[in-house]
């Protein structure tokens, strides 16, 4: 079972809000500070990597520390950890520390976020680091494939090569402008997890003292996602291919939908005895593949299948995927499969939430997305309530929507890519 804990939402007078996950007797504290401040909020497309560069400059020089090295030395002297990440919409600042220094680390995190000094020499160094990062990622075949799939279906996300082209144009003034516009109280959310016993008022007062503009909660960018022709990226030197098959519906999944999809994915690809991956392994046609379901800020939800397959085995694998998804949509899920899946998910649930950081991650996922609070302790009841009919209905909903495509990257011929797409199209007939 998850660590014993309570969750309270804290709405600050400044307009910021967040969750305090109180874990009695924990010796570890975990903080995540969130802003909608990602790459989508760049002032102009030509400086798309402004947010990414700003994130790389996080925990650098500020009003009290002249260098990144000095700040790092002070922050980590008792073993504390810090990091930051940037996505299209979100930017997150992370910190983990020992309980005895909870206030010192939160104050240092406050200093880094609210009073940074964006210096030209640091920006130039980080331009090199961001370029190194993106050049490396541009050789990650699955990542490149999914970027092209997103683009083909109407998504706005840039390719890594396009991101690289915007690095040099970013100036210190662009960084300062982006920080001031996005790092505001109303645009800030947080999850603080650990043992705050006796310090609840102190935490609230500290968070309300952050020196930030009041601002507004920024809205996410919305794309119009639609079906697309097959995507092919030729890599003649690659013996196998990475593939991504995605289906989309134009609504948000509920939490119960996501739990049902988790069960369905387990049946199809979750184990060595699963219907698709298990059978493919048994037949020697696919070493590794999986599936997942997600819901996005643009008002859509997706069902994705992905993995690696050699050209000579691709037809058999895609035919198997079609066969098993059609079986599900036709109602072919046994009560035995359902009960086995519930048992698996129950055991998986009991292994979750065993660290303070894991609890922070659980609650932050939903809260940063749309402000909802989904108690991890309710997961067992949600698993027990999964119905065959719900999984069948969801599979049918994806097939009825007919918003889908297939992407492949590797040593695949154009004619083969078209044929694979045609094979998958049979489930939408």
For residues 168 and 283, membership in a common domain is answered with: no
User: How would residue 303 be classed by pLDDT, with cut points 50, 70 and 90?
Assistant: very high
Confidence at residue 366, expressed as pLDDT on a 0 to 100 scale: 95
Among residues 305, 330, 332, the alpha carbon closest in space to that of 423 is found at: 305
For residues 368 and 251, membership in a common domain is answered with: yes
For residues 62 and 171, membership in a common domain is answered with: yes
Q: For residue 214, is it within any domain?
A: no
Q: For residue 355, is it within any domain?
A: yes
What pLDDT digit, counting tens, does each position of 148-168 carry? 999 999 999 999 999 999 999
- Measure the CA–CA gap between 200 and 177, rounded to whole angstroms: 34
What is the chain's Cα-based Rg?
23
Confidence at residue 105, expressed as pLDDT on a 0 to 100 scale: 98
What pLDDT digit, counting tens, does each position of 241-297 carry? 999 999 999 999 999 999 999 999 999 999 999 999 999 999 999 999 999 999 998
For residues 310 and 404, membership in a common domain is answered with: yes
For residues 302 and 181, membership in a common domain is answered with: no
For residues 331 and 299, membership in a common domain is answered with: yes
What pLDDT digit, counting tens, does each position of 104-144 carry? 999 999 999 999 999 999 999 999 999 999 999 999 999 99
Confidence at residue 279, expressed as pLDDT on a 0 to 100 scale: 98
Last residue of a domain, one of 209, 240, 255: 209
Q: For residue 226, is it within any domain?
A: no
For residues 181 and 295, membership in a common domain is answered with: no
For residues 275 and 365, membership in a common domain is answered with: yes
For residues 99 and 159, membership in a common domain is answered with: yes
Q: For residue 216, is it within any domain?
A: no
Last residue of a domain, one of 209, 242, 260: 209
Which conformational region is residue 247 in: left (phi greater than 0), alpha (psi within -120 to 50 degrees), or beta?
beta
User: How would residue 184 be classed by pLDDT, with cut points 50, 70 and 90?
Assistant: very high
pLDDT at 352 over 90: no
pLDDT at 333 over 90: yes
Residue spans of alpha helices (H) in 351-429: 356-370, 379-384, 388-401, 414-425
Residue with tokens 């092919």: 232
Confidence at residue 87, expressed as pLDDT on a 0 to 100 scale: 96
Provide CB contacts within 8 A for 251, sequence distance 6+.
299, 300, 301
pLDDT at 7 over 90: yes
Task: Count up the domains in the chain and report the number.
Answer: 2
DSSP 37: -
For residues 190 and 323, membership in a common domain is answered with: no
For 138, the domain range is 6-209
- Measure the CA–CA gap between 273 and 285, rounded to whole angstroms: 15
Q: What is the model's pTM? A: 0.95
Structural tokens at position 202: 């102190």
Q: For residue 122, is it within any domain?
A: yes
For residues 125 and 176, membership in a common domain is answered with: yes
Q: For residue 225, is it within any domain?
A: no
Q: For residue 300, is it within any domain?
A: yes
For residues 174 and 260, membership in a common domain is answered with: no
Q: For residue 191, is it within any domain?
A: yes
State the CATH number of the domain containing residue 51. Answer: 3.30.830.10
């Amino acid at each position: 079972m998850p660590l014993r804990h309570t969750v309270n939402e804290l709405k600050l007078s400044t307009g910021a809000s967040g969750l305090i996950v109180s874990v009695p007797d924990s010796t570890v504290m975990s903080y995540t500070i969130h802003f909608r401040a990602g790459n989508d909020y760049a002032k102009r497309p030509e400086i798309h990597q402004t947010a990414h560069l700003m994130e790389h400059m996080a925990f650098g020089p500020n009003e009290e520390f002249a260098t990144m090295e000095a700040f790092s030395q002070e922050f980590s002297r008792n073993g504390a950890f810090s990091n930051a990440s940037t996505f299209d919409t979100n930017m997150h600042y992370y910190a983990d520390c020992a309980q005895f220094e909870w206030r010192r680390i939160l104050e240092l995190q406050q200093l880094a976020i609210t009073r940074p000094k964006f210096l030209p020499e640091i920006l130039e160094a980080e331009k090199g680091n961001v370029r190194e990062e993106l050049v490396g990622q541009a050789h990650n075949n699955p990542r490149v494939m999914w970027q092209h799939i997103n683009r083909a279906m109407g998504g706005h996300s840039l390719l890594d090569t396009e991101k690289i082209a915007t690095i040099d144009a970013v100036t210190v003034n662009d960084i300062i402008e982006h920080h001031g516009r996005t790092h505001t109280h109303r645009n800030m959310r947080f999850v603080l997890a650990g043992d705050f016993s006796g310090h609840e008022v102190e935490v609230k007062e500290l968070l309300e003292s952050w020196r930030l503009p009041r601002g507004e909660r920024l809205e996410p960018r919305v794309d119009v996602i639609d079906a697309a022709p097959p995507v092919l990226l030729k890599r003649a030197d690659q013996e196998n291919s990475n593939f991504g098959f995605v289906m989309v519906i134009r609504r948000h999944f509920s939490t119960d939908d996501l739990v049902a999809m988790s069960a369905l994915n387990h049946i199809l690809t979750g184990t060595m005895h699963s219907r698709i991956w298990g059978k493919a392994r048994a037949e020697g046609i696919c070493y590794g593949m999986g599936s997942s379901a997600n819901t996005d800020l643009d008002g859509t939800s997706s069902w994705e299948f992905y993995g690696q397959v050699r050209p000579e085995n691709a037809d058999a694998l895609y035919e198997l995927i079609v066969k098993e998804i059609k079986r599900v949509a036709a109602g072919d899920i046994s009560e035995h499969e359902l009960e086995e899946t519930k048992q698996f998910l129950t055991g998986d649930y009991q292994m979750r939430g065993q660290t303070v950081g894991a609890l922070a991650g659980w609650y932050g996922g939903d809260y940063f997305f749309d402000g909802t609070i989904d108690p991890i302790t309710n997961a067992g009841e949600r698993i027990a309530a999964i119905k065959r009919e719900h999984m069948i209905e969801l599979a049918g909903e994806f097939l009825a929507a007919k918003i889908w495509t297939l992407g492949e990257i590797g040593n695949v011929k154009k004619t083969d890519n078209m044929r694979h797409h045609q094979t998958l199209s049979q489930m939408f007939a």
